Amino acid sequence: MTQYVAVLGATGSIGDSTLALLAAHPERFSVYALSGYGRLDKLFSLCQRFVPKRVAVPDDQVDTFSQRLSQANLDIAVVGGQSGLVDIATDSQVDTVVAAIVGAAGLASTLAAAQAGKRILLANKESLVMAGSLMMQAVRQNGAVLLPLDSEHNAIFQCLPASIQQDNQQIHDEHHGVRHLWLTASGGPFLHTEYADMQQATLAQAVKHPNWSMGQKISIDSATMMNKGLELIEACHLFNLPEHRINVVIHPQSIIHSLVEYVDGSFLAQLGSPDMRTPIAHALSYPERIHSGVKSLSLYDLAGLEFLEPDLEKFLCLKLAREAMQSGSVATIALNASNEVAVQAFIEAQVKLTDIALINARVLEKIAGHPEVVESLEDIMAIDDVARRYASSEVRLCQQ
């Protein structure tokens, strides 16, 4: 039976890989809806190629984009803004929502997809960092299925017993014998760079990831290892484990994508070339397998796989993420928001790469006394807003 897919964040890096897979398997998948934000020429080309039924653009672009589509004789309904994304994510014709918008902008539509009981392929890790409990509750209550696209989480998913996979990955100690999860991290472009030199890092150096080709924000998060911090929080929610049961190991080759350690001493790992088409193909076709176009891993060429302990002083963001997870939702929401502001300030050359962690640390200190009431999307966005204001004032202090 054809699966009708909405790709939210279709113009991005995950969008590219997803659409390549959807195009390669037309007998299984139909592209029902797409969304874009800044790169609307690219979105227009995707509309010409895939002719979806619906497309989402920023609010102020709806009229222009609609006209452009009609001039090209494309009968595609255009919706705008966050409400348009929510509309698509909950459309009764949609089976699968690929949540591939970057940052907090992806939260409302991902949560709505969970509330509508969709099959969600989750790339937007920020939505679990901000709203983990709410998301997992919505998934459970509405019969949604949440399949991780993040390569580490997808690897862990693949190494878990089928009973956990089918129970939305919730690990319950009495039955499953999982001791630890091990998230692998490449260490990013500055793994072997001294902290003093990291302070001088340019944007071009920071986004040049050694193994993966990704969007700008996640590339910078990889350079600071905030990405692994966000993934740690993502894993806690996704797999129902406290942070102290989840270890991070630096594995610069990015061949082992993560591991599950069991109480009998077994470690199960998932290996593959670092190419997002593998986890996306896995999640799209789960529980079956489809060709992804990824070249086979040549085991004979794997000379040496290294495993190192992360330096938490140099990569302070990872330590902050652990502390935030211990502290609770207000802290994880604030950390995510602060990080988005600080990363944007680095992109705009207002702060140094190493300032990102310092800004995040100060925002976490400031938010510490904030009452812990996180029961709705509105509560989350209110904390997000306060943290963004704290972060913006920290950015200004860094510039003085």
Tell me which residues touch ligand NDP (CB under 6 A): 9-15, 36-39, 100-102, 105, 123-126, 150, 212, 214-218, 276
CB of 315 to ligand NDP, least distance (A): 17
Nearest-angstrom CA–CA distance, 339 and 103: 10
Stretch 151-180 residues interacting with Mg ion (CB under 5 A): 151-152
93, 95, 101, 106 alpha-carbon torsion, rounded to 10°: 80
Q: Which of residues 297-356 bind Mg ion (CB under 5 A)?
A: none
Tokens standing for residue 4: 């009708």
Residue closer to ligand NDP (CB basis): 96 or 124: 124
Q: Which residue is nearest to Mg ion (CB)?
A: 150
CB closer to ligand NDP, 124 vs 329: 124
Burial class of 320 by CB neighbour count within 10 A (0 to 12, 13 to 18, 19+) = buried
Task: Note whether 10 and 46 are within 8 A (CB).
Answer: yes
Phi-psi region of 26 (alpha: psi -120 to 50; beta: other; left: phi over 0): alpha
> Rounded CA gap, 109 and 212, in Å?
26
Nearest approach, Cβ of 151 to Mg ion (angstroms)? 5
Cβ distance to Mg ion smaller for residue 79 or 317: 317
Q: By CB under 5 A, how many residues form the interface with Mg ion?
A: 3
Give the other-Cβ count within 10 Å of 316's Cβ.
21
Question: Which residue number, 177 or 210, has a Cβ lying nearer to ligand NDP?
Answer: 210
Tell whether residue 150 is a contact of Mg ion (CB under 5 A): yes
Residue 38, contacted partner among ligand NDP, Mg ion, none, CB below 5-8 A by kind: ligand NDP
- Listed in sequence order, the residues at least 6 apart from 251 whose beta carbon sits closer than 8 Å to its beta carbon are 184, 185, 186, 305, 306, 307, 308
CB 75, min distance to ligand NDP, A: 22
Q: Of 116 and 149, which CB lies nearer to Mg ion in the complex structure?
A: 149
The residues that touch Mg ion, with contacts defined as CB under 5 A, are 150-152
